[in-house]
Structure 1
């Protein structure tokens, strides 16, 4: 009876780890899309809005969901709390705090940090160009993430179950 319970727990652990890895692959394209949406909203706020950047970022965070909203809200909070800090420093700090809670990888982080380093430092048209470049780069990363999801998500889930079964066979 104990062997059966142990075997069931091992298979369950393998299954859950496969599901978690598959979920990670599924969340990445969604989170990239959220960032692109946030950047598009930021472009609209910069070009057509006349609000200060902390208010614009807070407004964007209310319109988004997930990790994208968290990035914009954390940056807005930091800008409001520390008005003497440059925008790039607040953005970088917010990225460092939010990134571990996401399924995003290094290339997306680099794109987001590059955009943050130029925010608030030039005229509106230059800001628009940088935001559009970031959106184009994120679009490329999203396509790559979707391809990886289609290719590997089901495999990861299956391998989780199969690795649990294999471990049970090897142990018993």
Structure 2
């Protein structure tokens, strides 16, 4: 009886691990898409609204889902609070602190860090060019992420369940 309960728990845990990994594959393209839309909004705010950067980032944060909202809220708060940090320092600190909670990979992180290095340090047209470049890079990464999702999402679920079934067979 105890072996049966243990086997059921191992099977359940393995299946859940597979589903969690599959959820990360599904979350990555969604988060990249949200980030791209938010950067389009930032481009509009910089280009047409001429909104101050902390306010534009705060508006951008409200467009994003939970893991990304915290990152951009933190950047906006640091810039508005007048802590004396440059945009680049605030941007890098917030991204480095909050990146582990996202499903995105280092390519997206690098694109955002490059964007943060130029925001607030150059003219409006130059900033708009860098925002557009970051959006193009993110769109390329989104395509890659979708391909990985199609390739690995179902595989992750299956491997989680089959790996747990193997452990159960070896236990019994």
Q: Same fold (TM over 0.5)?
A: yes
Q: 1:123-165: per-residue Cα shift (whole Å, max 9, x none)?
A: 1111111011100000000000000000010010011011111
On the 8 A contact 1:10/1:164 being kept in 2, the answer is yes
On the 8 A contact 1:71/1:98 being kept in 2, the answer is yes
TM-score (norm 1): 0.96
Q: 1:75-127: per-residue Cα shift (whole Å, max 9, x none)?
A: 10111223521101000011011101100111111101000010011111111
On the 8 A contact 1:38/1:68 being kept in 2, the answer is no
Instruction: Output the CA distance in 1 between the equivalents of 2:82 and 2:4.
Output: 58
Q: Partner residue of 2:80?
A: 80
Structure 1 consecutive aligned stretches of length 4 or more whose deviation exceeds 4 Å = none
Q: Partner residue of 1:63?
A: 63
Q: Partner residue of 1:122?
A: 122
What CA RMSD, in Å, does the superposition of the two structures yield over aligned residues? 1.0
Structure 2: unaligned runs, 5 residues or longer: none
Number of aligned positions between the proteins: 172
How far has the Cα of 1:60 moved from its partner? 1.5
Instruction: Output the CA distance in 2 between the equivalents of 1:63 and 1:149.
Output: 24
On the 8 A contact 2:68/2:102 being kept in 1, the answer is no
Q: Partner residue of 1:134?
A: 134
Instruction: Output the CA distance in 2 between the equivalents of 1:114 and 1:71.
Output: 16
TM-score (norm 2): 0.96
